[in-house]
Amino acid sequence: YDSLVWSTLNGGGIFSPSPNEEEPTYVPASSDTGLAVITLQASFFQEGVCPDQQFPVQVILRDPARINPTATDICRNNPTSSINANATNEQSVTWSSVTGGAFSPSNVGTSLSFNPITSQLSQSDIQLNLIASSVNCPDVSDSIEVPIVDPPTVSAGSDVLVCSNNA
C-alpha cells in the first residue's frame, strides 16, 4: 500500500499520534460513551491497478466498575461490622484495612463482616479500602470510615429497700 488512513464510522474520537500511523491509539470522545460498539476502519490506498481496500474493526465499549461501600458502626464491646458494596460492572471486589483486622468469610465480595483487632478499638474509626476490578478497564477504588462507638449505658437509679409488710 502507498498510504493508510484510520477513520471511525460512528465514533467521535481521535487517533493518536495520527490517523496515518499503522497502529495508532483511538482516544474516545465523551460522546462515544453512549455507544456499545465503535467501528474503526483502516483504509489502504494504492497507486496503480490494485484497488483501495478498507478493513473495519469493531471495538466493544465496556463501562468501568462502580462501587459504593457502606458499613454499620462498630461497638467496642461487640466489635463486628457488616460491610457492603453496591458494585456494578465489576469482576471482583476486594476489601483491605491498613491497620489490621479480619474479614469474614474472606476479604473478597460485596457483602461480608469485618472484625477489628483489639488495638483498633481504641480509635474513633477504622478506614476500610475497597478495590473493584473489571474486564479491560482500570481498577476503581473507594474507602469508608467505619465509626467505633461506645456501648450504651443505663442507670435505673439507686437501689430501694421495700418491706413486704408495708403496703
- In this predicted model, what pLDDT tens digit does every residue of 47-101 receive, in sequence order? 888 899 999 999 888 778 889 999 889 999 988 899 999 988 899 999 999 999 9
Which residue in 123, 118, 113, 119 sits closest to 147, CA to CA? 123
Contacts 24+ apart (CB under 8 A), 93-97: 93/67, 93/130, 93/131, 93/132, 93/133, 94/130, 94/131, 94/132, 94/133, 95/128, 95/129, 95/130, 96/128, 96/129, 96/130, 96/131, 97/126, 97/127, 97/128, 97/129
Q: Write the pLDDT tens digit of every residue in 14-57.
A: 999 999 999 999 999 999 988 889 999 999 998 888 899 999 99
Pair 12, 37: CB distance under 8 Å: no
The C-alpha cell 464491646 sits at 77
pTM above 0.85, yes or no: no
CA 27, 61, 30, 140: dihedral to nearest 10 degrees?
A: -90
SS3 42: strand
